[in-house]
Amino acid sequence: MTTQTAALTRANDLQPHAIALLRIALGVMTLAHGLMKVFLFTVPGTVGYFESLGLPGFLAHLTILAEVGGGLALILGLYTRWISLALVPVLLGAAWVHLGNGWVFSNEGGGWEFPVFWAIALLVQAGLGSGSLTLSRRFA
């Protein structure tokens, strides 16, 4: 085996762990955003915010459920491809909310680049699958 072949083999051995690292990071971020809506903004506060944007209040409940449930599923490696795809519209909705604030998320009210990047990372995760460290390979 050549040195180059050995290096590629080692890199391929690490790939499932790199995929899992992305999945877990996306899951932690998603869960944190959902729990922030529950414990910091409160559910009624989040509903009120959605309604102030002209959105139906029930979408706040669906968003919280998607973020908390989806975040936990990603952390555990359950249905990673489907959960990742299901979360993309949530992030595109967040990008829509922040669109008028400009590009940079540090702008007042936050910008749209972070939710768009997050949506793209979820699409990448959907393409990659679960990687290693899943609760169950059967439901990965």
pLDDT tens digits for range 59-118: 999 999 999 999 999 999 999 999 999 999 999 999 999 999 988 878 888 889 999 999
Q: How many angstroms separate the CA atoms of 111 and 99, rounded?
A: 6
Residue with tokens 């990071």: 25
Average pLDDT, the chain: 93
Quote the pLDDT of residue 8.
Answer: 63
Q: How many angstroms separate the CA atoms of 90 and 66, rounded?
A: 8
| Residues contacting 81, CB < 8 A, separation 6+ | 125, 126, 127, 129, 130
pTM of the model: 0.89
**Other CB atoms closer than 10 Å to residue 103's CB: what's the count?**
12
| Residues contacting 105, CB < 8 A, separation 6+ | 98, 111, 112, 113, 114
Quote the pLDDT of residue 7.
Answer: 64
